[in-house]
Amino acid sequence: LIQPDSGTVAVIGLGRFGGAVAESLVRLGHEVLAIDERAEIVQQWSDRLTHVVQADATDASVLSQLGIGEFDRVVVAIGTDIEASVLTVLAVEEAGVGEIWAKAITAKHGRILHRVGAHHVVYPEAAMGERVAHLVTGRMIDFIEFDDGFAIVKTRPPAEAVGRTLAEAQLRTKYGVTVVGVKRPGEDFTYARPDTSIAEGDLIIVSGPTMQVETFAAIT
């Protein structure tokens, strides 16, 4: 069906999340084997993905027929049906896959997935909810948090920095954050330097420990 190599990924479950994962992987140039148990879902995706198979992924023998054990990376994107999600991760783990990514709905669900062999558990709804909370409450225009408590945000500069260079504004000393880029309206982003000046209407990219970045983005 598909000859797995280091670039191939199997995605199990083509709901909203799994579908987006599969489609992005294809766009990034990867070969994707997509699996879903529902015929109409398989039908829907068959013109957008090259390899879409209708199968029940909780069935270890079906997975072995599909050669799942040959894949380096598998994404289990079944969420709502927790039993199917757990059994699928278990079957994929037993097939000997080295890197299993799985979507969880709740923290408890995530703990079980880790226990049965998922190497990476993601919580798309919770993660997006947190991101949106940051965007609606602060001056942040975009927010990315890494799992080690470090974040990067795109935000408007605080009033105290406007009309000053970054060296003069002393934002790192005062707030513990680093300005890494500045964007003038209608221009491209430039890397921040000590002599970069900040003007009204600019956008800045700031990095640092999440708490410091949040505090910084809340000041005006």
Please give the DSSP secondary-structure letter assigned to residue 28.
Answer: T
What are the tokens at 150?
């470090």
Cα–Cα distance for residue pair 136/53, rounded to 1 Å? 40
The residue within the footprint of ligand ADP, chosen from 35, 113, 152, 205 (CB under 6 A), is 35
Q: Are 81 and 36 in contact (CB under 8 A)?
A: no
Cα–Cα distance for residue pair 76/11, rounded to 1 Å? 6
What are the tokens at 156?
């408007």
The residue within the footprint of ligand ADP, chosen from 84, 90, 97, 179 (CB under 6 A), is 84
Stretch that binds ligand ADP, among 16-24, 42-50, 106-114, 169-177 (CB under 6 A): 16-24
Closer CB to ligand ADP, residue 68 or residue 217? 68
Closer CB to ligand ADP, residue 51 or residue 183? 51
Q: How far is the CB of 189 from ligand ADP (least distance, A)?
A: 33
13 binds ligand ADP (CB under 6 A): yes
What is the sign of the dihedral through the CA atoms of 16, 17, 20 and 25?
Answer: negative
- Applying CB under 6 A, the residues found at the interface with ligand ADP are 12-18, 35-38, 41, 56-58, 78-81, 84, 88
